[in-house]
Amino acid sequence: MATATLDLDGVRARFPSLASGVAFLDAPGGTQCPQSVIDAIAAYLRESNANLGGAFVASRRSDALVENARATAARFLGCRAEETIFGQNMTTLNFALTRAVGRTFAAGDEILVTRLDHDGNVAPWLELADDLELRVDFVEIRDDTTLDLDDLERKLTERTRVVAFPLASNAVGTTPEAARVVALAHEAGALAWADAVHYAPHGPIDVAALGVDVLLCSPYKFCGPHLGLAFGREELLRSWRPYKVRPAADEPAGSRFETGTLAHELLAGFVAAVEYLGALGWDAIRAHERALGQRFLDGLPGRCTLYGIGTMEGRVPTFAFRVDGLTPRAVAERLAERRIAVWDGDYYALEPMTRLGLQPDGAVRAGFVHYNTLEEVDRLLAELAAI
């Protein structure tokens, strides 16, 4: 059977920003948008810009768009349309959902988060714990940044209500054994609460197969607009009392957690982004990204220290590293002068950066997605060797 391949020239031709000559190796902070996404946003604003529920044409088009966006989200996540929730971003949605589930907790209940998490799946629980006298504990990671599942098992108790974890680390690229995390959480009677923000650009999501109870992601990380998307198991959503205005509809179930008017133009862009990815196929995307990551690992200069897994097994192509004798900011600035975009700092991943001893400066982060090329990886490696 032939291996799926990308028409990389054709892919890159769809992205206006890539014509600039900048090597965008900054995808963990947000991807570039294809023209189809840009056009979809503009078309909505030009032709259908209205609020919902009106008798006139533009409003009816907006109604149809929201319905289509929910159906698209359901296909993307592997759930029912009623179980999808849109919001400003992942963190805002997570604060809203944690507040809703918090109404079912009692003082002394426990939440487990991990040392691998982005703070968007840590801080909402810490704040909730402060409000409700809950206990938050951290599941540790090993030196290679893999999640310590034995530590998770030890820390689960009859009072554990939620196990919050990432499908992929936005800092070091590690992908935990999600199936095992979910199984352990459910065996303890806890909810499995997944942050898929960093995983979503790199592989398909199937919440049914994963068995998670809640999952959140961000379309702007997979070639869409700045937006948040969540899944919640329908019976859970119906059992929680949402924070919402009284006239807002209670159906579909997920909409009860959407406060105020949605950004309809961004929903149009989201639909276009999912259609774009679907046309490429995940097999081709993953094969190409694996090649990019392997090229980086094979060529990383000796004066660079990598933090995380040293192979392409158990990770996505996101890499945190330091260059001997230079601060991460200095490296990022030098690369920017050479038209190579990377990140420096902690990327809101406070726990892994602290655990690895990289605070306060953090590390340089280079992240590859399917529109990047082997030549761009080589450009980065050459500049790192020359700095």
| CATH code of the domain covering residue 266 | 3.40.640.10
Residues of the chain with pLDDT below 70 are 1-3
Residue 17 and residue 46 in one domain: no
Q: Is residue 3 part of a domain?
A: no
Q: Residue 76 sits in which domain range? A: 39-277
Residue 20 and residue 79 in one domain: no
Q: Is residue 34 part of a domain?
A: no
Residue 26's φ and ψ, nearest 5 degrees, are: -110, 15
Please classify residue 167 by burial: count the beta carbons closer than 10 Å to its beta carbon, then call 0-12 exposed, 13-18 middle and 19+ buried: buried
Q: Is residue 2 part of a domain?
A: no
Residues in contact with 60: Cβ distance below 8 Å, sequence separation at least 6, in sequence order: 54
CA atoms within 13 A of residue 53's CA, in its CB half-sphere: 4
Measuring CA to CA, which residue among 363, 376, 360, 365 is closest to residue 326?
363
Ranges of beta strands (E only) in the chain are 23-24, 84-87, 110-114, 135-139, 160-166, 191-195, 214-217, 228-232, 304-307, 318-323, 340-341, 343-345, 363-367
Residue 65 and residue 197 in one domain: yes
Determine the Cα–Cα distance for residues 321 and 173; give it in Å rounded to an integer.
12
Residue 79 and residue 122 in one domain: yes
Residue with the two structure tokens 């939620």 = 162
Please classify residue 137 by burial: count the beta carbons closer than 10 Å to its beta carbon, then call 0-12 exposed, 13-18 middle and 19+ buried: middle
Residue 103 and residue 207 in one domain: yes
Determine the Cα–Cα distance for residues 113 and 122; give it in Å rounded to an integer.
6
Q: Is residue 30 part of a domain?
A: no
Residues in contact with 171: Cβ distance below 8 Å, sequence separation at least 6, in sequence order: 116, 118, 318, 320, 346, 347, 349, 352, 353, 363, 365
Q: Answer yes or no: are the C-beta atoms of 75 and 207 closer than 8 Å.
A: no
Residue 131 and residue 253 in one domain: yes
What pLDDT is attached to residue 3?
61
Q: Is residue 102 part of a domain?
A: yes
The CATH number of the domain holding residue 351 is 3.90.1150.10
Angle at 340 between CA 339 and CA 342, to 5 degrees: 140
Task: Answer yes or no: pTM beyond 0.75.
Answer: yes
Q: Is residue 1 part of a domain?
A: no
What pLDDT is attached to residue 4?
78
Residue 240 and residue 224 in one domain: yes
Which DSSP string corresponds to 352-386? Answer: HHHHTT-TTTBEEEEE--TT--HHHHHHHHHHHHH
What pLDDT is attached to residue 1?
43
Residue 231 and residue 378 in one domain: no
Cis peptide before 252 (omega within 30 of 0): yes
Residues in the chain: 387
Q: Which of 229, 259, 277 is the last residue in one of the domains?
A: 277
Q: Which of 242, 277, 312 is the last residue in one of the domains?
A: 277
Which DSSP string corresponds to 273-302? Answer: HHHHHHHH-HHHHHHHHHHHHHHHHHH--T
Measured from the Cβ of residue 330, the count of other Cβ atoms closer than 10 Å reads: 15
Q: Is residue 248 part of a domain?
A: yes
For 357, left (φ over 0), alpha (ψ -120 to 50), or beta?
left
Determine the Cα–Cα distance for residues 37 and 35; give it in Å rounded to an integer.
5
Residue 152 and residue 170 in one domain: yes
Residue 336 and residue 252 in one domain: no
Residue 165 and residue 96 in one domain: yes
Determine the Cα–Cα distance for residues 308 and 39; give it in Å rounded to an integer.
39
Q: Tell me how many domains the chain contains.
A: 2
Q: Is residue 16 part of a domain?
A: yes
Residue 167 and residue 227 in one domain: yes
Q: Answer yes or no: are the C-beta atoms of 256 and 83 closer than 8 Å.
A: no
Q: Which of 252, 277, 302 is the last residue in one of the domains?
A: 277
Determine the Cα–Cα distance for residues 127 and 104; give it in Å rounded to an integer.
16
